[in-house]
Amino acid sequence: MVECFARDEPPTDKFRGIPGLYIKTDDGGVFATETPDPITPGEFESISLGLDAANIPYDDYWEYMHKVYDARQLAVMKNEDLVQTIRLITSSHCPIGCKFCSSTRFLAEAAGDKQKVLRLSPQQMLLLVKQAVRSHPRVTAIFFDDDDFLQDRDRALEFCALVHAEIALRGLRFLCLSRTDNVDAELLRVMSDVGFRLIIYGVESFSEQLLIDADKKVRSAHPAEQARWAVVSALSAGITPLMNLILFYPSAREADVVATVDSAVELVREGARIAVYPYVEAYPGSRLLMEAPEVKEKHFAIDGIKFRIPWVVVPKDPAVAFLGRRALQLKPRILSDIKRRCGWLGDVCNPIDSLALFLAVYDLLGRSTRSIWDAIETVVGSVTYPLADHPCGPPVSRRKLASVARGGRVLAA
């Protein structure tokens, strides 16, 4: 295949013998070749351990990142030691199957639902880490970019024990992604002891109903409560929890949005960090995308060729869809106001960016923004508070939101 492309030959029948390809046909259709066999443990090990970090120009990347973020931004993000980072992946995928997630489906789709979860052993993980450090001695942190690094608790504990025994790795920091129901106090303490400094939690929402709608399968009768517990426990262990949130989930009602904002703001004030995705991003492969009633598309052109791709899933409740659209329109004005009040120069980063969206939502709903400003002050150190609760514009009247919710005309403001 590579040779054909090198010779500038168009896809031909030769490709039809290669499993796992989708070939565009002359009549505009798509031809799928045979389903490939699932990846075997041996193949996964050889792919993962075959990564040669020396071939990746990390020093250039870090230099670039140091130009993107200044010391103040890194402190606000609590990322001071985490710029010179190397990403490693030690497991094949997360099998949980949340409705909005596409990465959980990639390998299953490719291998006809037969792909088992594959993981490197703790010894192999240590080998990868040591290879990375040897290739790039200036590295300060290893980012385990597995969709759910802590899906096997025993593996995580054994890896931590191996790191603990490696004097040469003292001072190295680690960060990873995890579900909120994979952690416990003991695991977090052990992770903190060996240098884990950041856990990115897939919290998504603090609305119990939305977590059920998203099929998060959190092992708790109270999944939102479990998320709060995981965040607070990470903080107690000395690890910064970063909560990934989706504010306007397709089935969200106003009360769900408010539940997420209130909990997230409270936890940011405790020391957690947030990254808010306004909508579910429409990644092909996710179950949600297949059944979503309304998907907004993105149109763009590259070299004069026009493309149209699914972009975000629009909330079903017209009032929430309206609120989301208006909040995103208002956000740039709010960000300028925050910058002025904090004496902030240059681009803002998270969690301020996400808190600006919360401010926009609460402005529009006519709710008090005081706790959000308190969170901003906690994060940046000082802020001149607005005298009124809604400095950026009049709130949308409750009557108007109610009318939109009843199916009234949604204004393209």
Residue 184, sorted as left (phi over 0), alpha (psi -120 to 50) or beta, turns out to be beta
C-alpha distance across the termini of the chain, in Å? 50
Can you read off the two tokens belonging to residue 357? 């969206």
Could you say which of 38, 195, 202, 223 contacts ligand SF4 (CB under 6 A)?
A: 202
Least CB distance from residue 213 to ligand SF4, whole Å? 13
Min dist. Cβ of residue 148 to ligand SF4 (A): 5
> 163 exposed, middle or buried (CB, 10 Å; 0-12, 13-18, 19+)?
buried
Distance CA 17, CA 59 (A): 40
Stretch that binds ligand SF4, among 50-58, 59-67, 89-97, 167-175 (CB under 6 A): 89-97
CB of 145 to ligand SF4, least distance (A): 11
Task: Single out the residue of 51, 65, 74, 96 in contact with ligand SF4 (rule: CB under 6 A).
Answer: 96
Residue 101 contacts ligand SF4 per CB under 6 A? yes
Site string for ligand SF4, 159-188 (x = CB under 6 A): --------------------x---------
Helix (H, G, I), strand (E, B) or coil at 147: coil
Which CB atom, from 97 or from 391, has the smaller least distance to ligand SF4? Answer: 97
Q: Is the CB of residue 342 less than 8 Å from the CB of residue 356?
A: no
205 binds ligand SF4 (CB under 6 A): no
Asked if the bond preceding 57 is cis, omega within 30° of 0, the reply is no
104 sits near ligand SF4 (criterion: CB under 6 A): yes
Q: How far is CA 37 from the centre of its chain?
A: 30
Among the residue ranges 95-103, 271-279, 314-322, 397-405, the one whose residues contact ligand SF4 (CB under 6 A): 95-103
Residue 119 touches ligand SF4, criterion: CB under 6 A: no
| Given 76, 77, 86, 94, the residue binding ligand SF4 (CB under 6 A) | 94
**Min. distance of Cβ 98 from ligand SF4 in angstroms?**
3
403 scored as a contact of ligand SF4 (CB under 6 A): no
User: Residues touching ligand SF4: how many (CB under 6 A)?
Assistant: 11
Assess 147 for contact with ligand SF4 (CB under 6 A): yes
Distance CA 74, CA 15 (A): 48
d(CA 30, CA 328): 37
97 binds ligand SF4 (CB under 6 A): yes
CA distance 309 to 9: 27
Q: How far is C-alpha 281 from the geometric centre of its chain's CA atoms? A: 11
| Residue closest to 184 by CA, chosen among 154, 145, 222 | 154
* Sites of contact with ligand SF4 (CB under 6 A): 94, 96-98, 101, 103-104, 147-148, 179, 202
